[in-house]
Structure 1
Amino acid sequence: MSNSDASAAQRGRPTVLDRGAIATATFRLWAERGYAAVGWKDIAEATGVSVRTLVRHFAHKSDIAWIGVPAATRRLRQALEDTPEQTPVSDAVRRAIVASIADDPMTPAGPDWIQVVCTEPELAVTAPAAYRPWIAELARFLDQRVPDITPTAAAALASGYQAATFSALVSWCESGSHERAADAADEALTWLSVRAG
């Protein structure tokens, strides 16, 4: 293959977009320079993905911040589905939440991610929509497992768990701890309990 043929092949659309690598590089840029100071061109240079491709996959720059939430939602759902019936609800919820943020390099729980989403108003505004599916999964489980709970109460309780988890991650980040983020969330969530009857 000639150099011109190789160049033409490299200019084509990537067959698979590595969303994790894009998010990791972008979070690092945002943490170093600030969210507002980083444009699409900077993200393209850091990731090796063209601006045109980035914009095709992410309608807004803020969408990159929530790239790990769908996978975390799938892990949460699977952990809840795998929970034995006899497991106390509070334990089931805590374990599933920890599973949703653990053991995945694309988990939205790294220090760069937390630093950015805690300090950028544009991201704070988009957070409720990003977390809605995760909260809905947890609310569905609570609605099924907690006698007499209303759907409204289940949704409120699930939202409370999401807020508590995020707060634990923020504290973990600010402390400079060397423990895993999931372990910090696990410890914090042991203080919450659901009255199941």
Structure 2
Amino acid sequence: MSSSDAPQRGRPSVLDRAAVATATFRLWTERGYDAVSWRDISEATGVSVRTLVRHFAHKSDIAWVGVPAATRRLRDALENMPADLPVDESARRAIVASISDDPMKPAGTDWIRVVCTEPELAGSAPAAYRPWIDELAGFIARRAPGISPAAATAVASGYQAATFAALVAWGEGRSAGDAAESADEALGWLAVRRPAEEINLT
């Protein structure tokens, strides 16, 4: 094999972030999060440490490569919700639709096992999921007249937490059916209702 035919490492023109995440989660599952270095990830993926660090400022960022795609799927599903459908039913249907296609992509249930057991990853979750929450909060604000931006964000955060908990239960085998069915059941218990004007909270 000539030098020009040799596999190229270090500076791919387009980094396959999903492939990096899949390989990395496999390492984290086998060895533990703290035991896996950038060099280990480089050897497992064929991507240089320099390139990895250029694409992922922190090792924990690899855990959340699927969130942008999940956010796009959520946005598309929300845009297709009928205007006359109640906001809570719309949110439930859109979230379930957004996770029906490979909800754990790219790392499968390895994602659940690692994210739930590593403090650094759990601590980075709120920032990672903020675009997803903002997308849902914007929808809720448009569909629930009178709700404040802060309340819409709080409600969206509740939906995110419930969805994540349902996926955890599914990944751990504590939920019947697939991931979408687990989320559907959990989210069915949530409701968005305008507070009665006569209630005095003072």
TM-score by length of 1: 0.90
Query: Which amino acid is the alignment partner of residue 100 of structure 1?
Result: S
Q: 1:59 to 1:162 in 2, by over 3 A?
A: same
Unpaired segments ≥5 residues, structure 1:
none
Partner of residue 90 from structure 1, selected from 88, 100, 117: 88
Q: Could you say which residue in structure 1 is the equivalent of 2:179?
A: 181
Where has structure 1 moved over 4 Å in runs of 4 or more? Answer: none
* Whole-angstrom distance in 2 between the partners of 1:159 and 1:55: 30
SS of residue in 1 equivalent to 2:81: coil
Q: 1:3 to 1:176 in 2, by over 3 A?
A: farther
Unpaired segments ≥5 residues, structure 2:
196-202
Query: Which amino acid is the alignment partner of residue 132 of structure 1?
Result: R
Deviation of residue 153 (structure 1)? 0.9
Aligned partners of 1:101 and 1:109 also within 8 Å? no
Counting only pairs closer than 5 Å after superposition, residues 122-141 of structure 1 correspond to structure 2 as 122-141=120-139
Counting only pairs closer than 5 Å after superposition, residues 1-197 of structure 1 correspond to structure 2 as 3-7=2-6, 10-11=8-9, 13-104=11-102, 107=105, 110-175=108-173, 179-195=177-193
TM-score by length of 2: 0.88
What value does the CA root-mean-square deviation take over the aligned residues? 2.1
* Whole-angstrom distance in 2 between the partners of 1:106 and 1:175: 14
* Whole-angstrom distance in 2 between the partners of 1:140 and 1:86: 17
Q: 1:72 to 1:161 in 2, by over 3 A?
A: same
Query: Which amino acid is the alignment partner of residue 138 of structure 1?
Result: L
More helix by share: 1
Aligned partners of 1:80 and 1:93 also within 8 Å? yes
Q: 1:148 to 1:11 in 2, by over 3 A?
A: closer
Point out the more displaced range, 80-89 or 108-117: 108-117
Q: State percent identity of aligned pairs.
A: 71
- Alignment: residue pair count: 195
Query: Which amino acid is the alignment partner of residue 135 of structure 1?
Result: I
SS of residue in 1 equivalent to 2:14: coil
* Whole-angstrom distance in 1 between the partners of 2:105 and 2:97: 10
Q: 1:109 to 1:73 in 2, by over 3 A?
A: farther
* Whole-angstrom distance in 1 between the partners of 2:157 and 2:28: 27
Q: Per-residue CA shift, 1:87-121, capped at 9, x if unaligned?
A: 22122101111222221376378321111111111
Q: 1:54 to 1:155 in 2, by over 3 A?
A: same
Point out the more displaced range, 130-139 or 91-100: 91-100
Q: Per-residue CA shift, 1:14-44, capped at 9, x if unaligned?
A: 1221111111111111112111011111111
